Amino acid sequence: MKRGTLQNAELSGLIAAMGHGDLLVIGDAGLPVPPGVRCIDLAVTGGVPGFFEVLDAVLSELTVERSAATVEADPGLINRFSMRQIGMLERLSHDDLKQASKGARAIVRTGEFTPYANICLWSGVAF
């Protein structure tokens, strides 16, 4: 059994397989998943699991070079993003974030009900 924070086998395997510049999106319960993009659906019920619980678990294993969130997101949400190791945070319109998600290796769906609790994470390198 793994000793690290992230215990979901599918998500952990995806992160292990990601290369430099690959995109992973973590979204709220309502973020649409484009056709052909893998969805790792962790949502159980409203708020479970929460967005930041999932983000923190992912960040325990993923080196992030840069990230993007929506301009529509509440400033408090953006402040919570900026307190984490997510590289330079770009701000996109919600429509542009949905367009960017079409190139994701996967979208991780959480149970989060906070509007615009979505983030794009581009992997960096650990060396």
Active site positions, annotated: 20
> What is the Cβ-side half-sphere exposure of residue 55, based on CA atoms within 13 angstroms?
24
117 belongs to an annotated ligand binding site: yes
Distance CA 71, CA 64 (A): 20
43 belongs to an annotated ligand binding site: no
Do residues 110 and 26 touch, judged by C-beta distance below 8 A? Answer: yes
Strand 23-27 to 64-70 pairing:
unpaired
Reported as type and span, the H/E element at residue 21 is none
79 belongs to an annotated ligand binding site: no
94 belongs to an annotated ligand binding site: yes
Binding site for substrate: what residues are annotated? 28, 94, 116-118
